[in-house]
Structure 1
Amino acid sequence: MYLRRKIDDYLKEWKNSEERKPLIIKGARQIGKTESIRKFAEENYTSVIEINFVEEPKYRTIIVDGYGADEIVKSISRIDPQKQFIPEETLIFFDELQEFPEIATSLKFFAQDGRFDIICSGSLLGISYQRIESNSVGYKNDYTMYSMDFEEFLWAKGYQDDVIEDMLEHMCQGKAFGKAELYTFEEAFLDYCILGGLPAVVREYISTNTFTGTLQMQTQLLEDYKEDIRKYADGLDQTRILNVFQHIPVQLAKDNKKFQISKVAKGARFKDYRGCIEWLRDTGLVNVCYCLQYPELPLKGNYDEEKYKLYYFDTGMLVAMLDEEAQEDLRANKNMNVYKGALYENVVAEALVKSGYGLYYYKKENATLEEDFFVRTRDSLVPVEVKATNGRSKSLRTLIKSENYPDIKFGIKLIKGNIGIENDIHTFPYFCTFLLKRYISWEMSSTSISGEKKQAGISGGSQSLS
């Protein structure tokens, strides 16, 4: 059973582009890269040449005669004469690129040759990507793939695009969901949070309509990621990287969720662990949320690299790391607030990253002013607050109302509850997080149009959703 993914549309657009270059698809392991590429290849090419540099190390010799397209094609056909290279109708798929980054040098020559389409993919590409980039700069396209987001999960459950559009329309109109709608989406979102977005786990759940075996699959995948750390991390960093990776739930369980290296191991110092955080980030296994120096634009360069929060790239990994009591509380009592809201924050961080946002938070020294996340538009900053219930939002109100923060015009509050817009605080259920980028784009467009009407002396209502 193939699960529809967002990369499907991207791959079609890539193939239809006359300017397409060899494509490199990055992302953590087990997120569905190979499966999606194969599905696309089968539907769009007469001949598909798939080479896996882990399973077929013999193909690492294909560059011995040179990096040109003719030389590579000749070398591949020498190893396997059955492979057919039909100009304009062939896709060459180099999988597990991290095991043989040298092949990236050939992308320039394939791009210039133009007879064959090329897709490269692999896990943990981030740790060797600088080398790949230097070998193919200017002659490739890049695409970062993630585990399934909530929209893809809804597709897997059989929901169509019109349901998603209706959710967005509720947000844009500030119209609360009906009780039945709210209950349905909250239940689906709870299931998604428990399962995470790794396709193998979701597929098992969809095919059986139960959670049977899903925790065991999550646990095994977690062990696979740890084994990758042992395999690909160098020297003593293996232990340090594993310590950081396994310590994330403990630190997220604290009221102050800032990651503290000093708590990872006795005598641990930031300078000794800096490379570990970067390694985990580059492999796609964690999302790093940096503390802003001040809540204003621009965001890049306006943060303290020694103050950050760490989240797993997929909330299913956090669930697999929960202790037995927390597991039971989550599954039996539907308590999403396990580990003091760690699950809520992780799933929001994950959704923001999958929407293309960087992660930033703010905590004012020696003060109560703090905010969980910030996202930006072209010319404004939007604070995003994560709340277990629809309670008071003192920090959010301060950021919106105070003249000290001119880049902030409105804020977003995510809750286990319904939609509501009041006093420039836009409140949405957690399950709407994946739509925030589309909503903010609409809000900025709507505000701009309203402003133009006011300047022209024209009164008008809210913009309708096209």
Structure 2
Amino acid sequence: MVFKRKIYEKMKAWKELSGGESALMIEGARRIGKSTIAETFVQNEYEDYILLDFAKEKREILSNFEENIGDLDTFFRNLFLLKGKSLREKQSVIIFDEVQLFPLARQAIKYLVADGRYDYIETGSLISIKENVKDILIPSEEYKLKMYPMDFEEFLWAKGDEITFPIVKEAFEKRKSLGEDIHRQVMQKFRTYMAVGGMPQAVSAFVNGRTYEEIDFVKRNILDLYEDDLKKYDTNHKERASVVFKTIPEQLSNHNSHFKLAILDKKARYERYVDAIDFVAESMMGNACINVTAPEVALEL
């Protein structure tokens, strides 16, 4: 099921303003709909496209990047032969899906954009993690958009409700009460959103009338994927990222919602956990909100 997403309008703005001089990078956590929105966008906004999914591509595709990126005529000839289709220049786009799995393709963006025959859209998670960028030159030709799970308004859109949110927004801006009955209805919808969450798979299950038990099953599978990513990172980092991630619910249950190192370990020190905390934030598995009480002092202090 394809849902209406706010990032779509930002993608249209990129296409119009970029003029082919940058590739679009959609960054976000896993299973939030990056691949779906990218493919939906190119189907609507371009004449044709080729999708390269680096989680599935054959060795021949990868070798083409390794051996022929310096000769783009040969590169495109081989790509079209391997994918079984060609593209019309200036009217088509090539999608690099899960580009973090093959960093060399991301590095090639510099030359592909300069060539100018096609547009390029990249999608990826964990793209800024050191292990995924340590051996490549990050292209300056990327225009980055961060994508998140579906917010409350997008959730309402999925249910076919385009009335509630504008009314709430107008009431907020005018500082005018909705009235007790309407407020109760809106809060019921919001509590439903909080129970279902914003992962497209879970929202799709809800829209299709699945039970909350089945929706929870979908979300637990996604959490398992996140925990697998954390374990891979923790192989060299003493499981600290997993500990940080798993304590987030407890951290948020504090009356002031402050992140406390003592919950991780009574002897915990910032310098031991800063990389793990950064990983959870950079992977977009968690959202870090820096609480600054003295803005005139540098954040590093």
So what's the TM-score if we normalise by structure 2?
Answer: 0.89
Q: Once the two structures are superposed, what CA deviation does each residue of 1:145-170 show, in whole Å capped at 9, x if it has no partner?
A: 0000111011111122x543332221
> Is the Cα–Cα contact under 8 Å of residues 34 and 121 in structure 1 kept in the other structure?
yes
Q: What secondary structure, in the 3-state scheme, does the structure 2 residue paired with 1:119 have? A: strand
Q: Once the two structures are superposed, what CA deviation does each residue of 1:258-308 show, in whole Å capped at 9, x if it has no partner?
A: 3232332364322111110111111111111223142x4x6xx64467xxx
> Is the Cα–Cα contact under 8 Å of residues 27 and 147 in structure 2 kept in the other structure?
yes
In 1, the alpha carbon distance for the partners of 2:72 and 2:168 equals 48
Higher relative strand content: 1
Look up the equivalent residue of 2:231 and give its one-letter code.
Answer: R
Structure 1: any 5+ residue segments left out of the alignment? 306-466
Look up the equivalent residue of 2:268 and give its one-letter code.
Answer: A
Q: Equivalent residue for 1:342?
A: none
In 2, the alpha carbon distance for the partners of 1:187 and 1:144 equals 29
In 2, the alpha carbon distance for the partners of 1:171 and 1:34 equals 34
Q: Once the two structures are superposed, what CA deviation does each residue of 1:318-361 show, in whole Å capped at 9, x if it has no partner?
A: xxxxxxxxxxxxxxxxxxxxxxxxxxxxxxxxxxxxxxxxxxxx
State the superposition RMSD in angstroms: 2.3
Residues 198 and 68 from structure 1, CA distance in 2 versus in 1: closer, same or farther, beyond 3 angstroms? Answer: farther
Residue 6 of structure 1: CA displacement?
0.7
In 1, the alpha carbon distance for the partners of 2:188 and 2:69 equals 56
Residues 168 and 279 from structure 1, CA distance in 2 versus in 1: closer, same or farther, beyond 3 angstroms? Answer: same
Question: Is 1:159 equivalent to 2:122 in the alignment?
Answer: no
Residue 208 of structure 1: CA displacement?
0.5
Residue 240 of structure 1: CA displacement?
1.2
Residues 44 and 275 from structure 1, CA distance in 2 versus in 1: closer, same or farther, beyond 3 angstroms? Answer: same
Q: Equivalent residue for 1:119?
A: 121
> Is the Cα–Cα contact under 8 Å of residues 69 and 106 in structure 1 kept in the other structure?
no
Q: Equivalent residue for 1:284?
A: 284
Q: Equivalent residue for 1:16?
A: 16
> Is the Cα–Cα contact under 8 Å of residues 26 and 144 in structure 1 kept in the other structure?
yes
Question: Is 1:102 equivalent to 2:104 in the alignment?
Answer: yes
Q: Equivalent residue for 1:252?
A: 252
Q: Once the two structures are superposed, what CA deviation does each residue of 1:108-163 show, in whole Å capped at 9, x if it has no partner?
A: 222222221100111221214765994311x1211110000111011111122x54
Which deviates more, 123-132 or 31-40? 123-132
In 1, the alpha carbon distance for the partners of 2:58 and 2:226 equals 22
Question: Is 1:72 equivalent to 2:75 in the alignment?
Answer: yes
Q: What secondary structure, in the 3-state scheme, does the structure 2 residue paired with 1:5 have? A: coil
In 2, the alpha carbon distance for the partners of 1:256 and 1:177 equals 28
Which of 61, 64, 82 is the aligned partner of 1:62? 64
Look up the equivalent residue of 2:282 and give its one-letter code.
Answer: D
Residue 26 of structure 1: CA displacement?
0.3
Residues 236 and 14 from structure 1, CA distance in 2 versus in 1: closer, same or farther, beyond 3 angstroms? Answer: closer
In 2, the alpha carbon distance for the partners of 1:239 and 1:56 equals 31
Name which one, 1 or 2, has greater alpha-carbon Rg: 1
Structure 2: any 5+ residue segments left out of the alignment? none
Look up the equivalent residue of 2:13 and give its one-letter code.
Answer: E
Look up the equivalent residue of 2:161 and give its one-letter code.
Answer: Y
> Is the Cα–Cα contact under 8 Å of residues 42 and 49 in structure 2 kept in the other structure?
yes
% identical equivalent positions: 28
> Is the Cα–Cα contact under 8 Å of residues 234 and 242 in structure 2 kept in the other structure?
no
In 2, the alpha carbon distance for the partners of 1:124 and 1:195 equals 25
Q: Equivalent residue for 2:269?
A: 269
Q: Equivalent residue for 1:222?
A: 223
> Is the Cα–Cα contact under 8 Å of residues 104 and 136 in structure 2 kept in the other structure?
no
Residues 215 and 50 from structure 1, CA distance in 2 versus in 1: closer, same or farther, beyond 3 angstroms? Answer: same
Name the count of aligned residue pairs. 297
Look up the equivalent residue of 1:144 and give its one-letter code.
Answer: K
In 2, the alpha carbon distance for the partners of 1:42 and 1:263 equals 48
Question: Is 1:37 equivalent to 2:38 in the alignment?
Answer: yes
Q: Larger relative CO (CA 8 A, sep 6+): 1 or 2?
A: 2
Residue 74 of structure 1: CA displacement?
2.8
Residue 10 of structure 1: CA displacement?
1.9
